[in-house]
Structure 1
Amino acid sequence: MTALFLGACGKYSSGPPTPGNNQIAELAQAIQALGPDVDPEEAQRAAYVAFTYPLQLAREYQITDPPIIHNIKVNQGLRPRGLCWQWAQDMETRLAQENFQTLELHRAIGNSEKALRIDHSTVVISAKGDGMYDGLVLDPWRWGGKLFWGDPKLDKKYEWIPRQKVFDLKRGRRDRRSLAAG
């Protein structure tokens, strides 16, 4: 049963499938629809990078297994990178190189407050000045280099919280434990 579950996460013997132009165009349209001031050319560039850069990362990270199995390999030193926070960090860095003027990048962590679930990090893109919940999740880890994107409020798999808020909550819990032990 576990093998079936893990196998469903996405295994690619030669990397994730290349996105079609219609997939990129659909995401570009969704990004442009984030606000009336979003530059269509920036939306197109963001969508192109969001779909194609994870393919490069999948090669660099040597992705051949579902994400959870790959995480185990990274943690055992058998693969160089590929934990979700590394995908998110690399994706954010690459998108930031585009120097968007009408779009803004956010980091989010999913399921940080759910028992028996591991944290998951990703990038969210929004119209400049808007918050994370007004944007779109760009998650390259979930399907091992094949981009998942969507409204963070409607994601059925992860409950997204701004990364800094998660850090603050964890720091507060750690500080309270230290005070109680001290």
Structure 2
Amino acid sequence: MTRFLTPFLLLVCLLLGACTAPPPGGPQPPASGEIAALAASLRALGPGVDPEEAERAARVSFLYPLALARSYNITDSPYVHNVKVNNGQRARGLCWHWAEDMELRLRQESFRTLTVHRAIAQSFPGFEHSTSVISRRGDPMQRGIVVDPWRAGGRLFWSPVLRDDYVWRPRMEVLAEKWLKRQGGAPAP
């Protein structure tokens, strides 16, 4: 089944047109104004968000994925790169790697007015997608902004959580449900 699944997913990816390779040299730096637009959206999360922290979070969110793309040796679309990771041709670059590394890097900033979350969404049956989310300190993840470098292979995608195509849930909630299921229990109501 596994031998069939990988080529099948690659074929589906190619047919959907989602497999364009990133430009030579990796993802391009953000266009003029992109960092400022994300910073403005982070400030707009509500009163008390420090403008300097919002700008720093936006800058890290756009620039750090460029370094990760080099580190992960991204030369293909996210789906093709996933196949390479799963076949042992690349060490890292699955969505949860991007989310984990983004979360760790953003947490290094020691924000006082922003919180970094991890989230998981069901992308389609049997497949999940992971990302990081930034919210105002004290707010739930659902009121934050998705910062997802995986979707474009190192070029940041960002969106308010509730406007994204994915339905995001807190990572620990999803993992707890999986653990309970493996134990034969049902998730708590």
Counterpart of 1:58 in structure 2 is 69
- Which whole-Å CA distance do the structure 2 matches of 1:77 and 1:163 have between them? 26
Counterpart of 2:35 in structure 1 is 24
Q: 8 Å contact 1:6–1:68 — kept in the other structure? A: no
In structure 1, the gaps of 5 or more residues are: 178-182
Counterpart of 1:180 in structure 2 is none
Counterpart of 2:8 in structure 1 is none
1:14 and 2:22 matched: no
What SS does structure 2 have at the residue aligned with 1:21?
coil
- Which whole-Å CA distance do the structure 2 matches of 1:7 and 1:111 have between them? 18
Number of residue equivalences: 174
What SS does structure 2 have at the residue aligned with 1:126?
strand
Counterpart of 1:109 in structure 2 is 120
Q: Which protein, 1 or 2, shows the higher relative CO under an 8 Å CA cutoff with sep ≥ 6?
A: 1
What SS does structure 1 have at the residue aligned with 2:69?
helix
Q: 8 Å contact 1:9–1:142 — kept in the other structure? A: no
- Which whole-Å CA distance do the structure 2 matches of 1:7 and 1:133 have between them? 27
Counterpart of 1:120 in structure 2 is 129
1:129 and 2:138 matched: yes
What SS does structure 2 have at the residue aligned with 1:38?
coil
Counterpart of 1:144 in structure 2 is 153
Moved more, 93-102 or 73-82: 73-82
In structure 2, the gaps of 5 or more residues are: 1-10
Question: Which of residues 164, 168, 177 is equivalent to 1:169?
Answer: 177
- The aligned amino acid for 2:94 is L
Counterpart of 2:94 in structure 1 is 83
TM-score normalised per structure 1 = 0.90
Task: Give, in angstroms, the shift of residue 6 of structure 1.
Answer: 4.4
Task: Give, in angstroms, the shift of residue 76 of structure 1.
Answer: 1.6
Identity level (%) = 52
What SS does structure 2 have at the residue aligned with 1:139?
strand
1:160 and 2:165 matched: no
- Which whole-Å CA distance do the structure 2 matches of 1:68 and 1:12 have between them? 16
Counterpart of 1:44 in structure 2 is 55
| Cα RMSD (Å) | 1.7
Q: 8 Å contact 1:6–1:66 — kept in the other structure? A: no
TM-score normalised per structure 2 = 0.86
Distance 1:25 1:92, change over 3 A: same
- Which whole-Å CA distance do the structure 1 matches of 2:183 and 2:56 have between them? 42
- The aligned amino acid for 2:40 is Q
